[in-house]
Amino acid sequence: MTRMIKCIASLALVHGLVACSGPQAPKATATTFKWVSSPPLILPQPDPDQTIYAVKDPSIVYVNGKYHVFMTTAGSSGWGLAYTSFDKWSEASSAKIIPLDKSPMGPGYRAAPQVFYFAPRKAWYLIYQGADPLYSTSNDMSDPASWTAPKPLFPTLPDIIKRPQGNGWLDFWVICDDRKCYLFNTDDHGRLLRSETGIDRFPNGFHNTVAVLNEKTEDLFEASNTYRIANTQTYITLVEAMSPKGRYFRIWKSNGLDGNWEPFSSTPMNTFASSENVEQLWSDGISHGELIRTNADQTMTIDPCRPLEYLFQGNDPAVRVSEYIKLPYRLGVIAAKGENPVSALCR
């Protein structure tokens, strides 16, 4: 009964769009994931300065009873970052989306944000991509004008990124344990890369950039996101892949951020979420997104005892456009149904 009450309470966050399933299989046998999708919840809004084609690449935290979402906007003037907030999902579509280019962050190419509170410095950090990984800070993330001018995370480009060893980098993700902070990123060519620095040196000192996963381009593409599972020694990482049936996410686990990664689902290609295991899906797949975390800090912790919720970007499979920037991405939420490899770790 207690577990059912928790399930109902958590899923109610997704605006009552899903219901708890019936009797659950034993946790030890949970080796796959199943989901149900909300409709699109965050959509492009009119902008007096340009045409906004899409909102995408969301990063989300839930703090003091409010959702805070940072995202990429794709428009006729290029790529930028924006912010919105709301109390509940039923308010998401009407919540104002505020561009961040009027802040000291300034205009220019900005994309793929990640937001978190860095507790050692008592400040909010926004990690994002320019040509290379950048960051801005704020003492009040709910104030769009408060973000500082961009600073680079690396003084020089690591050799593994340069040709002929590499093909660039994108979609940067920071997560820290008690000793170190790690930066993960993909390169659109089948590699998941990891850099590190001491937690006392962050955001400076990133070095030792190495490939921790290396597969075919289509099987390990972009948009990695990594989390700690609360009350365990387990970490998970998700990476977007491509298939003839659309974008989807694969999942791996490790016993440490500096450890080896192994598949964490028994399905082919260790699938986390795809068009084949998400009910009521309005999109041609599951693309760049983020789990809704237990807390907002640098540990990127999720609670295995609460049903997983994943904010993702999707687009209408019937829409065909000539330019990538015009793909009509919108943001929606998928919520886990029943047991899965993460919920099996609930103690």
CA distances from 196 to 87, 200, 244, 291, 299 (A): 35, 12, 35, 23, 14
Cis peptide bond prior to 203, omega within 30° of 0: yes
For the chain, give the number of residues: 347
Residue 347: what pLDDT?
87
Residue 112: what pLDDT?
98
Rg (CA), the chain: 19
Q: Is 46 exposed, middle or buried (0-12, 13-18, 19+ CB in 10 A)?
A: exposed
What stretch of H or E contains 67? strand 66-75
Structure tokens at 136: 């801005």
| Alpha carbon distance 35, 273 (integer Å) | 7
Residues 135 and 148 sit within 8 Å (Cβ to Cβ): no
Which amino acid would we find at residue 279? E
* Phi, psi at 215, each rounded to 5°: -140, -170
| CATH number where 132 lies | 2.115.10.20
Structure tokens at 72: 């990429």
| Alpha carbon distance 268, 245 (integer Å) | 14
| Alpha carbon distance 278, 214 (integer Å) | 27
Q: Is 284 exposed, middle or buried (0-12, 13-18, 19+ CB in 10 A)?
A: middle
pLDDT digit of tens for each residue in the chain (347 aa)?
Answer: 344 333 333 434 444 444 444 444 443 468 999 999 999 999 999 999 999 999 999 999 999 999 999 999 999 999 999 999 999 999 999 999 999 999 999 999 999 999 999 999 999 999 999 989 999 999 999 999 999 999 999 999 999 999 999 999 999 999 999 999 999 999 999 999 999 999 999 999 999 999 999 999 999 999 999 999 999 999 999 999 999 999 999 999 999 999 999 999 999 999 999 999 999 999 999 999 999 998 999 999 999 999 999 999 999 988 999 999 999 999 999 999 999 999 999 98
| Alpha carbon distance 140, 123 (integer Å) | 8
- In the chain, the number of structural domains is 1
What stretch of H or E contains 92? none
Q: Cβ–Cβ contacts within 10 Å for residue 279, how many?
A: 11
Going by C-alpha positions, the residue among 265, 262, 249 that lies closest to residue 311 is 249
Spell out where 64-106 has E strands. 66-75, 78-86, 98-99
Query: Domain of 22?
Result: 2-345
Q: Residue 345 gets which letter from DSSP?
A: G
Spell out where 133-169 has E strands. 133-138, 151-152
Residues 6 or more apart in contact with residue 166 via CB below 8 angstroms = 159, 160, 187, 189, 191
| Alpha carbon distance 332, 36 (integer Å) | 11
Structure tokens at 106: 């300034």
Cα distance from N-terminal residue to C-terminal residue, the chain: 16
Going by C-alpha positions, the residue among 44, 115, 100 that lies closest to residue 74 is 44
Residue 29: what pLDDT?
63
